[in-house]
Structure 1
Amino acid sequence: MTRQYRQYALPWLLALAQCLLLPAVHAQASEGASADLEEIVVTARRRPSDAQRVGRSLSVLDLESLGGLPGQTHVQEALVRVPGVNLQRGNGQEYLPALRSPVLTGAGACGALLTAEDGIPLTSPGFCNINELFFAHHEAASRIEVLRGPGTAVHGGNALHGVVNVITARSAGSSLAGLELGSYGLARFRLNRFGESDSGLRLTAVRDGGFRDDAGYRQFKLNAFRSGNRRAWDWTGGLAVSGLDQDTAGYITGLDSYRDRQTARSNPDPEAFRKALNLRAWARLQYRRSEAWSLVLTPYLRYSRMRFRMHFLPGDPFERNGHSGAGLQTAAYIDRPAWRLIAGLDFEYARGDLRQWQEGDAAGSAFVRAVFPSGDHYDYEVDAGWLAPFAQLDLRLGSDWTASFGARYERARYDYRTMLPAGRTRDDLTPCGFGGCRYSRPADRSDSFGTFSPKASIIWSPSGSARVWLSFSHGFRMPQATELYRLQGAQATADLRPEQLRAAELGASFRLEAFAAQVALYHMRKRDVLFRDAELFNRAGGGTRHEGFEIDVSWRVISRLTVELTGSVARHRYDRDYLLGGVNLDGLEVDTAPRRVGGTRLRWRGEADWQMELEWLWTSGYFMEPQNRHRYPGHEILNLRARAALGPRVIVYLRLLNLTGRAYADRADYTVFSGERYFPGRPRSLFAGLEWRWGASSSN
């Protein structure tokens, strides 16, 4: 067996040993261990429901994993506990996501993943941002639910590969104030304040000096809510605000440059930055006519602005973008002994805008200086609307079987206006040398898209703590505004279609008093993939295929020791003939798609209300570009976390990340302009925090 496979064998042998030792788990569990252990989730149906009735892979990060060992300063530190998820961190709060997929890159790649907070999408469907999860208040979440694979009928078009829903705490628990200090100048303040009348406030403010030169960020997140009822109506209103001011460090270049400590701390782009503001206001109104019939209305408003320097492009141009709008989610629920129906209509309107400009000439060859000119590159507005009826029917087929059938039809329309002359000229209409400018502006136009998306699954639940499911689902995403109107080369218009994904999944889960496990096998094929060809044209018609196995195991070996394993083995390959650089990509692995990603955790709970966790994370090697010529070898990281209660109100905690000080790359990439380039991983870092709790549940 080669070293490449030996180094990742232990986690899977551990998983096999845990499954083989299942009879011992039965023996040590109490007599009632196999009784119904109900887990409530909200993402699959937009209201609390039993996870046993969801015929899909759904992971839940609850307070045990989020609040039990507090401290994550980046959402990646939480989502690394979910199988099939791979977030590659950039600098500061930036990242590139993957969920049952290769790492998503490109102008509209963010449209393949639906991200939400309390069920409200963080951005509008046609104006997503690849980093948008940094708007979510994960630091104050009561749980994070991750639906892996295409969304259910209640989810819109961006749920192509999955859904990440951050659910903030709204229970009248204990209030807390916390302060954390850490390596490289990190300081963070947290406040959770719950009132006595179903109201609350959550605030997080952080300043991080960054481990790289001229880098760091300042960020705040604020959530407020209030709940009440009047006659047959229950209501909850919420406000969420997030702001980011970041000094960004760019890629370092050169083969294995991340291994050199001095180079890893350097910043080739000291002038790069990102400023962002996101605001959402919403209300959830529920009318319950009877136990068998209810109606939920969720109107919301959204405002989002961002400005940053694109340090990853020649000329380091600036971008300013944003959108604002309003939406309404509706859902009617009918519950009968033999069947259950959900039906609704979703609507959203948004106005978006984007401007890109460059100050000064690009550095490089005469060709680069000519085709990447100074001045305005794009300046446009888009009015967009989405309308989507949906329905889902669950049928009970006896005491142990349930069949589910769902469908969603979504319609989108974009009305585009450019503020600059159409064409691939400079902003003053003068032509660029070497055949024309890189950036091309289409003339004013309108585009419409429509897609029908069916879903079906069957679930066998022999007990309240076990289920087996088989599902067939369809996912889609509409073209993003940037893919339609931010063109390059000689392309004057983009004739695009919605991406389509068909998925089949077989999974099983069970939960006992001391042992819980979930496994899944999936096969997915994606068609009409949007891509940029060798002529720099945005086109539809690409294809990829995705197969994988996922495992999520938690075993309380003895009363104080818990072992957890999450991981995935997957292959993501091109599935259509396509020549790039003289290479046919059909059958090759998609770039930035490690086959094995996961982690193992050992958690020990002491007698005096303290606990410690050792986390081992691993990422296998992957190709850095589509032709499969350049490869990153992968890495393994150890993290240590500890928490202790100093009485009923005070908690202290420590985090030591990258315990061994390993040199690794959070992201590895290759381009023809730069060659190998990397975002280096954070060196060994120590963080210490203190929390003071008061109120109803301040005791531990």
Structure 2
Amino acid sequence: MFSVLSRPQCAVRPLALALSLLTIAAHAEVTQLEDVVVTATREVTPIAKAPISIGKINQQTLQDIKPTFIGQVVNRVPGVVMTDLGNEQHNMSIRQPMTYAAVYQYLEDGIPIRPVGIFNHNALYEINLPGADGIEVVRGPASSLYGSNAVGGAINFTTAAPPAGPLFTLGAQFSNEGYRRADIAAGNTWGDTGIRLSGYQAARRDSWQDHNEMDKTGLTLRGDHWLNESLLWKSTLTYSKLDTEMPGSLNATDFNTRPGFSYNTFTYREVDALRATTGIEGELNAGGKTSATVYYRDNTTNQLPSYLIFNTGPKTASGRTTDNSFTSLGATAFHRQQWDALKLTVGGLIETSPQDAREQNLSIVRDPVSGKYLSYTKGSIRRDYSVDLSNQAVYGDASYALGGGWGINAGLRYDRVVYDFTNYLKPSPTTGGASQEQSFSNASPKAGLTWQAAPDLFFYSGYSVGFTPPEVGSLFSSAITPNLKPATFDQFELGLRSQPIPGLKLDAVVYRLDGEDELVNFTTQPGKSEPRNAGKTRHEGVELGLNWTANSAWSMNLAGQYAKHIYREYKPSPTLNFSGNDIPAAPTWQGQVELVYRPIEALRLGFETSYLGKYWMDESNKVEYGGHTLVNLRAQYRLKQFTLWASVNNLLDKHYSEMSASSYKGQGPRNPDAQDTYNPGAPRTFLVGASWAFGDGGRDGSRDGKGAQQ
């Protein structure tokens, strides 16, 4: 069924070796708390019994790792690669190549942080991680519950509830590469009402890379009021502000000889993102759970991006500014009812999100010797338009316990997305298409079978469908609206979760995800691309997670994957045929392992290594990035209210690229300096931090989880 199984020895050898090494834990006496998730079914579910592929980063892991970048923790989930493009900018790989495409859904407490049609591959810089108590990662299509874009997966950040008692914490950290940061958290609960404020302020100055300064503010305010013992009124406010320079990528020679160099002197990105929600969740009737939430978004992104600068001569280049803003007003609700063995959930969403966008052409002066872009003058207005986006959805989800440990589940969601586009300029190849309205609709089903074969052995299998409509920028960027179709994806997966010996948790899954009309960015020259429907694609692989706690001193976390991503059919032009080729930026092997030693309860020492295998940089599969292995060290010591920590990232000072691409098409001579680009990774970096806490930060006012979670 899955062609990846034609090479069982590749996947089985590492697994057999890992299991043989871990059998020393067979007689260990270990107490482990069971993680629960809410993203899999929109209700609290033990992760060991979730009917789909899902991983969780819990609050303890966030406290142990002290991440300055979300990828430092989500990459611990099997099958996840979040690349670090600098200053919280990123792209993602979950059952997809490392891609900028709109195939992921990013959520906060189950609500998407951006509207459909305005995807941003950097969107997680709009998350305030200190305001979260956990991260849940659904791998594979989740469109039946969360709508369009939830194709490769969905990442849900759950906000931290107010503490049960007074809480106040202060933290600070510094690195030798110019990064400094201050964190604060405060909160309390008075009777039935609690509040929690969490935030941070970060800055980067004088780093290893030219033109790379940054300022970032993140803030989350959450207020809870219990209307009765089972009904919660919850409100949240999240604000993020990012002001960063953009050093951009390098050609092959500069990447190899001066990776800290930047051609840019004035590129920037400025982001202001505000989200507010309020709603009730809990039990309104016996055997039922209800949730109803109203939400608001206000988002502005102004930039002069490095990736939109193109050389036009030895001393000249062109570029443009891009200013985008949108507001959203929406409401979402669901009700779940339990009748003995049957559980049924029905829900819906309605949202409107008007967007304004404007682009201005730039004439740029370039130094022909160094390649630096020195200055610019503003020219004509290139784009000036607005779009009224609307999204309506209804969905249902049911599960039934058959007995004997067997269960079935099924779901269906219907989405309708409407783009009402107004062009304030005369239509042309650069100013965009004529004013018009376009709509897309899709039904996304899922079905699955589960089996609790033993108390510590759970199997799940399922079929699910995901879809993503064309983005606003893809549809209306030229005079003639391209004939772009919504991309659809069909997935089959088979997985198991087990605790074969005390202290060892195993999570393994094999999947196949087939795409039709998948939207890809066809690279015409370095930094310049256009949208195309790729015909047919295939994504398949094996994901493996091992979590081993031998005793109070030793533990280990391993996350790895073997994956293949290919074009089944892709002919971008009459002379180019990439059918059968690997999709670029799709490493076959990837993994991360951390070994933790706690000689005493107050001290944690972690040794981590991550591996990213080689991959093709181009569609013709002629240009290859060789992959890399990185080593990181962490130490943390707690003394009553004080916590001290230190880390060394890239301990071996590896020269590597976070993201590599090539515009070479496999025809004619190749010029690496003109066609290949690399985003250099950071060198060896030392970081130290300290925090002080007053009060009870280990408990919250959730009343033992009685309220509904989303």
* TM-score (normalizing by structure 1): 0.89
Cα distance in 1 for residues equivalent to 2:594 and 2:85? 25
**Partner in structure 1 of residue 506 of structure 2:** 517
Describe how 1:634-645 pairs up with structure 2 within 5 A: 634-645=627-638
1:131 aligns with 2:129: no
Cα distance in 2 for residues equivalent to 1:238 and 1:463? 40
Cα distance in 2 for residues equivalent to 1:363 and 1:449? 43
CA deviations over 1:511-532 (Å, ceiling 9, x no partner): 4651111001000100021245
Instruction: Indicate the SS of the match to 2:60.
Output: helix
Instruction: Indicate the SS of the match to 2:307.
Output: coil
Question: Which deviates further from its counterpart, 375-384 or 133-142?
Answer: 133-142
**Partner in structure 2 of residue 671 of structure 1:** 663
**Partner in structure 2 of residue 3 of structure 1:** none
Describe how 1:31-180 pairs up with structure 2 within 5 A: 38-70=34-66, 72-105=67-100, 109=101, 111-151=102-142, 153-172=144-163, 174-180=167-173
Query: What residue identity is the alignment partner of 1:658?
Result: N
What is the deviation of 1:541? 5.5
**Partner in structure 2 of residue 334 of structure 1:** 337
**Partner in structure 1 of residue 459 of structure 2:** 468
Gaps of at least 5 residues in structure 2 are: 1-8, 311-317, 369-376, 665-672, 700-710
1:196 aligns with 2:189: yes
Query: What residue identity is the alignment partner of 2:55?
Result: S
**Partner in structure 1 of residue 251 of structure 2:** 253
Instruction: Indicate the SS of the match to 2:473.
Output: helix
CA deviations over 1:441-481 (Å, ceiling 9, x no partner): 10000001110111001111134543111111001112111
Query: What residue identity is the alignment partner of 1:518?
Result: D
1:206 aligns with 2:202: yes
What is the deviation of 1:395? 0.5
Question: Which deviates further from its counterpart, 320-329 or 236-245?
Answer: 320-329
Describe how 1:468-507 pairs up with structure 2 within 5 A: 468-487=459-478, 492-507=480-495
**Partner in structure 2 of residue 548 of structure 1:** 541
Describe how 1:550-699 pairs up with structure 2 within 5 A: 550-579=543-572, 582-645=575-638, 647-671=639-663, 674-697=674-697
**Structure 2 residue aligned with 1:301, among 291, 296, 300?**
296
Cα distance in 2 for residues equivalent to 1:140 and 1:468? 34
What is the deviation of 1:125? 1.0
Instruction: Indicate the SS of the match to 1:123.
Output: coil
Maintained 8 Å contact 2:539/2:564: yes
Query: What residue identity is the alignment partner of 2:480?
Result: A
What is the deviation of 1:139? 3.7
Cα distance in 1 for residues equivalent to 2:452 and 2:81? 30
Question: Structure 1's 684 and 11: CA in aligned 2 closer, same or farther, altered over 3 A?
Answer: farther
Query: What residue identity is the alignment partner of 2:245?
Result: D
**Structure 1 residue aligned with 2:392, among 362, 382, 387?**
387
CA deviations over 1:403-431 (Å, ceiling 9, x no partner): 0010001011110001111113xxxxxxx
Cα distance in 2 for residues equivalent to 1:186 and 1:656? 13
**Partner in structure 2 of residue 181 of structure 1:** 174
Maintained 8 Å contact 2:143/2:151: no
What is the deviation of 1:581? 8.8
Describe how 1:428-467 pairs up with structure 2 within 5 A: 439-467=430-458
What is the deviation of 1:76? 1.5
Query: What residue identity is the alignment partner of 1:526?
Result: G
What is the deviation of 1:45? 2.5
Cα distance in 2 for residues equivalent to 1:495 and 1:545? 22
Query: What residue identity is the alignment partner of 1:514?
Result: G
What is the deviation of 1:23? 6.0
1:419 aligns with 2:414: no
**Partner in structure 2 of residue 351 of structure 1:** 354
Maintained 8 Å contact 2:201/2:216: yes
Question: Structure 1's 364 and 451: CA in aligned 2 closer, same or farther, altered over 3 A?
Answer: farther
Maintained 8 Å contact 1:383/1:414: yes
Describe how 1:223-238 pairs up with structure 2 within 5 A: 223-231=220-228, 233-238=231-236
Instruction: Indicate the SS of the match to 2:177.
Output: helix
Maintained 8 Å contact 1:269/1:311: yes
* TM-score (normalizing by structure 2): 0.88
Cα distance in 2 for residues equivalent to 1:697 and 1:538? 48
Instruction: Indicate the SS of the match to 1:404.
Output: strand
Maintained 8 Å contact 1:362/1:373: no
Maintained 8 Å contact 1:326/1:350: yes
Describe how 1:261-340 pairs up with structure 2 within 5 A: 263-313=258-308, 314=310, 315-340=318-343
Maintained 8 Å contact 2:134/2:159: yes
Question: Structure 1's 540 and 631: CA in aligned 2 closer, same or farther, altered over 3 A?
Answer: closer
What is the deviation of 1:289? 2.6
Cα distance in 2 for residues equivalent to 1:552 and 1:277? 36
Cα distance in 1 for residues equivalent to 2:646 and 2:399? 46
Instruction: Indicate the SS of the match to 1:229.
Output: strand
CA deviations over 1:59-113 (Å, ceiling 9, x no partner): 001123211232x2111212221111112222322111111101113xxx1x210
Query: What residue identity is the alignment partner of 1:131?
Result: N
Query: What residue identity is the alignment partner of 1:404?
Result: N
How many residues get paired? 655
What is the deviation of 1:28? 3.2
Cα distance in 1 for residues equivalent to 2:34 and 2:338? 19
Maintained 8 Å contact 2:269/2:305: no
Query: What residue identity is the alignment partner of 1:302?
Result: R
Question: Structure 1's 24 and 537: CA in aligned 2 closer, same or farther, altered over 3 A?
Answer: closer
Question: Structure 1's 360 and 18: CA in aligned 2 closer, same or farther, altered over 3 A?
Answer: closer
What is the deviation of 1:568? 0.6
Maintained 8 Å contact 1:69/1:653: no
**Structure 1 residue aligned with 2:407, among 398, 402, 414?**
402
CA deviations over 1:496-543 (Å, ceiling 9, x no partner): 221100000010012465111100100010002124569977444622
Instruction: Indicate the SS of the match to 1:638.
Output: strand
Query: What residue identity is the alignment partner of 1:322?
Result: S
**Partner in structure 2 of residue 239 of structure 1:** 237
CA deviations over 1:599-630 (Å, ceiling 9, x no partner): 11110012151011010011011111111111
What is the deviation of 1:248? 1.3
Cα distance in 1 for residues equivalent to 2:627 and 2:178? 29
Cα distance in 1 for residues equivalent to 2:611 and 2:602? 30
What is the deviation of 1:293? 1.6
Instruction: Indicate the RMSD between aligned Cα atoms, in angstroms.
Output: 2.5
Cα distance in 1 for residues equivalent to 2:84 and 2:674? 19
